[in-house]
């Protein structure tokens, strides 16, 4: 007996599908789709691509080693965090009061 695709709306009002084994075990869960038509197209794509798909093993990253892409993302995130903190600190500063200005 073959598995079954189940199409449903999730809590975010997006459409998803899951592939369920004959015994009821969920074997795969899709990404969210904006509408039902896109989710049905996703099911068709899975049927087409997964039929005789190759199986490859992706090795786990070695401890302490970070890819160049991960370093770049981490660097951009650190810069953005610094910019946000700087703006926050600037917003906490007390604006100059009228009494702080020299008298003419």
Per domain, the residue ranges of the chain are: 4-50
Map residue 50 onto helix, strand or coil: helix
Q: What is the pLDDT along the chain (104 residues), one digit of tens a residue?
A: 678 999 999 888 899 999 999 998 999 999 999 999 999 999 999 888 877 777 888 888 777 776 777 777 777 777 778 777 777 777 777 655 555 555 55
Q: How far apart are CA 75 and CA 68, in angstroms?
A: 10
- For 4-50, the fitting CATH number among 3.30.160.160, 2.40.50.100, 3.90.1150.10, 2.40.50.140 is 3.30.160.160
Instruction: Read off the tokens for 8.
Output: 């449903």
């Amino acid at each position: 007996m073959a598995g079954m695709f189940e199409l449903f709306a999730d809590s975010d009002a997006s459409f998803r599908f899951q592939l369920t084994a004959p015994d009821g075990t969920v074997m795969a869960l899709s990404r969210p789709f904006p509408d039902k038509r896109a989710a049905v197209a996703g099911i068709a794509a899975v049927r087409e691509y997964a039929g005789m798909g190759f199986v490859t093993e992706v090795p786990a990253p070695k401890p302490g080693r970070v890819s160049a892409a991960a370093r770049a993302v981490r660097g951009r995130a650190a810069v953005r965090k610094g910019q946000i903190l700087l703006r926050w600190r600037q917003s906490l500063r007390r604006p100059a009061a009228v009494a702080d200005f020299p008298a003419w």
